[in-house]
Structure 1
Amino acid sequence: MFDLTDVGYVHRIVVGSINPEQLQREDEIRASTALLNRCLSDSPKGRIVGIEKTFSLLNIGEHQVVLQAMIYHVGFSRRPFWLEPSKEGQS
């Protein structure tokens, strides 16, 4: 049984683009998805404790750009040794 009081570390994983000046390439999206899968299957096994969904429409000149991202918050009882701390400073 999973209990939120057991969570001692939360890692944030962004899958998709949230910054129009730094669009994620396909290989970066695959790497983020692979990291999410590893967090949910490797030991210690993490659990998704929250999900943010973002969707933005931008007009750049005559073109319309759609930015979409899913941001997963994966909770662990402790930080896995194989997982680097979050670069955003929000861990």
Structure 2
Amino acid sequence: MFDLTDVSYVKRITVGSTDPERLSSEAAVQAEADLLNKCLAPTSRGKIIGIEKNFSLLNIGEHQVVLQAMVYHIGFARKPYWLEDDGMKS
């Protein structure tokens, strides 16, 4: 049984495009999905504790661009040793 009181570290993983100036390539989206899967693997013991769904339509000239992203909040009992630091202090 997973209890939120056991969560001491939360990793935020964005899968998809959120910035119209820098659209994510297919390789970048696949790398984000691979990190998500690694966090949810039985050996990592991460659990999804929240999901943000982002969707926006942009008109750039005559073209319409759709930006879609899912942001997953993965909770861990402690920070996994293999998880890279994203430069932010905890």
TM-score of the superposition, structure 2-length normalised?
0.93
Equivalent residues of 2:38, 2:44 under 8 A apart: no
CA-based RMSD of the aligned residues comes to 1.5
Gap runs ≥5 in structure 2: none
Partner of 1:51: 51
The size of the alignment, in residue pairs, is 90
Question: Aligned partners of 1:67, 1:59: CA distance in 2, in Å?
Answer: 11
- C-alpha displacement of 1:16: 0.3
- C-alpha displacement of 1:39: 0.2
- C-alpha displacement of 1:84: 1.1
Q: Where does 1:20-35 land on structure 2 (aligned, <5 Å)?
A: 20-35=20-35
Equivalent residues of 1:11, 1:86 under 8 A apart: no
TM-score of the superposition, structure 1-length normalised?
0.92
Gap runs ≥5 in structure 1: none
